[in-house]
């Protein structure tokens, strides 16, 4: 018993020594703490980008007035001769789909703000038509129910705009934008009447409405310029891909004055009678909403 007690005391003393404790620390495995979650890298909005867009545009209250340019046109309409009446103004709206491309550059100058510039070009189906009904007097064939049909068609447009954006969160951009706008505008006017002979006289002027439709024709095409302003929201779905929704108001200035000239009277040496369709009091303005996607090339 004495020997057993001595052996136990010796083992206990050995366990208490620093050397034994160090040896056990090496031999016994220690469980490592779980790794801390790693935050995703912050998105940088700085860099060039390109993308595409599609949307819808609309504009209200186009007004076109009609003015006779010669004695015969005046007598056979507002003059009341031969049963004629004045052509009243016509009003109409424009609307249609649009789509195109954009490119730009963003500079994110701190965590919450960026500035940039963007240019875009869109093909447009924004257009509209209005009708003015009146009586076209005729000394030869008597008064005829007639109408002017006036249209306005925005064929394409583009903008060059500055942007100022706020980042409430790293992946979400809210921005305001404004700058220069331009577009191709076509304006067309047709005077349609009932088939029959035309009229002549009134200072040597005449017109021919033998077929009825397209008795007088006029058109104008031009590249108009103006300004635009609006805003939008853009969300980064990946580090270099973002989706956006944007609203813009575009003003391309006043309309045009279209000279609507008659078909010549076939048997008389008369000058063609004509009217002026005046779009100039109507600004070519429209609103649009469009969505788009951008692909960014970070620096």
Give strand ranges (E) for 26-143. 47-68, 90-108, 113-136
Q: Beta 205-207 vs 271-272: how paired, if at all? A: parallel
pLDDT digits (tens, 9 = 90+) for 207-243: 988 889 999 999 999 999 999 999 999 999 999 999 9
pLDDT of residue 197: 84
Q: What mean pLDDT is predicted for residues 241-269?
A: 88
Scored b (16 or more CB within 10 A) or e, 41-78 reads eebbbebebebebebebebeebebbbbbbbebbbbbbb
Q: Is a pLDDT exceeding 90 seen at residue 133?
A: yes
The pLDDT score that the predictor gives to residue 17 is 52
Distance, CA of 203 to CA of 104 (rounded, Å): 59
Strand partners, 235: 172, 243
pLDDT digits (tens, 9 = 90+) for 158-182: 999 999 999 999 999 999 999 999 9
Task: Identify the weakest region by mean pLDDT among 22-26, 101-105, 266-270.
Answer: 22-26
Closest CA to 77 of 120, 36, 33, 135: 135
49-298 fold: Porin (2.40.160)
End-to-end CA distance of the chain: 84
The DSSP secondary-structure symbol of 82 reads G
What's the rounded mean pLDDT across residues 72-101?
Answer: 95
CA atoms of 260 and 62, how far apart (whole Å): 18
Whether 34 has a pLDDT exceeding 60, the answer reads yes
> Rounded mean pLDDT of the chain?
87
- Reported pTM: 0.83
pLDDT tier at 33, thresholds 50, 70, 90: low
Instruction: Convert the pLDDT of each residue in 56-85 to its tens digit.
Output: 999 988 899 999 999 999 999 999 888 999
Of 71, 63, 65, the residue nearest 87 (C-alpha): 65
């Amino acid at each position: 018993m004495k020997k057993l007690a001595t052996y136990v005391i010796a083992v206990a003393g050995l366990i208490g020594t620093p050397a034994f404790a160090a040896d056990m620390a090496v031999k016994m495995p220690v469980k490592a703490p779980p790794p801390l979650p790693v935050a995703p890298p912050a998105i940088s909005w700085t860099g060039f980008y390109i993308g595409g867009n599609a949307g819808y545009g609309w504009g209200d209250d186009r007004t076109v007035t009609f003015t006779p340019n010669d004695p015969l046109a005046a007598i056979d309409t507002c003059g009341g001769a031969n049963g004629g009446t004045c052509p009243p103004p016509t009003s109409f709206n424009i609307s249609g789909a649009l789509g195109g491309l954009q490119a730009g550059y963003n500079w994110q100058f701190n965590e919450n703000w960026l500035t940039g510039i963007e240019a875009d070009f869109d093909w447009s189906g924004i257009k509209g038509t209005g009708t003015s009904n009146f009586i076209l007097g005729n000394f030869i064939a008597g008064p005829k129910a007639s109408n002017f049909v006036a249209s306005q068609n925005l064929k394409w447009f583009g903008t060059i705009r500055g942007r100022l954006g706020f980042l409430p969160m790293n992946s979400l951009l809210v921005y305001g934008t404004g700058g220069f706008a331009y577009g191709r505008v076509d304006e067309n006017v047709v005077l349609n009447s009932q088939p029959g002979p035309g009229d002549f006289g009134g200072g040597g002027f005449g017109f021919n409405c033998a077929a009825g439709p397209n008795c007088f024709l006029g058109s104008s095409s031009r590249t108009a310029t103006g300004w635009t302003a609006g805003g939008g929201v853009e969300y980064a779905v990946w580090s270099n891909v973002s989706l956006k929704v944007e609203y813009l108001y575009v003003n391309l200035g006043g309309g045009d004055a279209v000279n609507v000239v008659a078909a010549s009277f076939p048997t008389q040496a008369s000058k063609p009678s004509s009217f002026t369709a005046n779009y100039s009091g109507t600004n070519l303005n429209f609103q649009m909403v469009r969505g788009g996607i951008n692909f960014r090339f970070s620096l």
